[in-house]
Amino acid sequence: MSAMVTPFDGQGRLDLDAARTVARWLVNHGNEGLVIGGTTGEATTLTDTELCDLVAAVAEAVTVPVVAGTASNDTAHSVALTRRARGLGAAGVLAVGPYYSRPPQAGIEAHFRAIADATDLPVMLYDVPGRTGRRVAHDVLLRLFREVPNVLAFKDATGDPAAAAALVAEGGGHFDLYSGDDAMTLPLLACGAVGVVGTTTHWTAPRFRRMLDAFHAGDHAAARAVHAELLPSIRFVNNDESVYSMSVKVMLRTLGLPTGPCRLPLPPAPAGKEDEARAVWRALAR
């Protein structure tokens, strides 16, 4: 599945018609679910009304599960948004660890429990310490998976396959593991991952499906070969000059999709990024 970008118009306003178009395109090109209001969706720049309108519009436009990113670094705010998710048509919620404030583990655990308690929808926990500044402890994750009935999935962007393997070994019967980093998907498959919540999946979803199918069929050489085909897209999507949202929007625009610009603090993509996108696409299409 893809953590979908959020389309804006030329004046930086939310473009719901474009969001529906992009969502349908993603589903038609192999995505089996969509995360709305994640980091790639520029969630921190969206108002609550914009996020809710976006989730509702996309959920109405597609038939695959739509997961709403309802968590922030404010637990009360996260709870309020989570309570609204079912009424918007969301099939689940994504709960990122509280960022910037870097709370101790007791605070992180209480934050996740409060979010899960606010809904009967499935909850996917999201650990991305490079953005939050604080990793979620192994024992905290295990307690949440074992004790909270609707905490059913984990988006792992820690870059630590050994820890993921230990987590699955001890608690894998209670949750599904998803890679939260396209480049780590193949290693995490070996640890028990069932899929990816990706960024390059905006245009590479069929390749990821081939890689997953080959791995689960025991053809690891084929899985590695597909992973090698994905590397130019993975390199393209994130660097110091153009981060995920920026790069994904450039790629989609080169494919004729309406995404508009990013909102500040994400600037326009650097010169030459469109040419790079076309080269990546041509190589992938061979």
Active-site residue (options: 99, 155, 178, 244): 155
Which positions ≥6 away from 31 have C-beta within 8 Å?
1, 2, 64, 201, 205
- Let me know the angle formed at the C-alpha of 183 by 178 and 188, rounded to the nearest 5 degrees: 40
Cβ of 97: how many Cβ atoms within 10 Å?
24
Under a CB-based contact definition with an 8 Å cutoff, are residues 169 and 155 in contact? no
**In what helix (H) or strand (E) does residue 3 lie, and over which residues does it extend?**
strand 2-3
Rounded to the nearest 10 degrees, what angle do helices 138-147 and 105-117 cross at?
Answer: 20
d(CA 94, CA 66): 10
Task: Say if strands 34-36 and 151-156 run parallel, antiparallel, or are unpaired.
Answer: unpaired
Whose CA is closest to 79, among 26, 117, 136? 117
SS3 10: coil
According to DSSP, residue 100 is labeled S
- Give catalytic status of residue 126 as yes or no: yes
Active-site residue (options: 126, 178, 244, 273): 126
Token output for 166? 């230990």
- Give catalytic status of residue 155 as yes or no: yes
**In what helix (H) or strand (E) does residue 94 lie, and over which residues does it extend?**
strand 92-96
d(CA 100, CA 66): 27
Whose CA is closest to 19, among 51, 65, 64, 67? 51
d(CA 238, CA 244): 5
Q: Which residues are tagged catalytic?
A: 126, 155
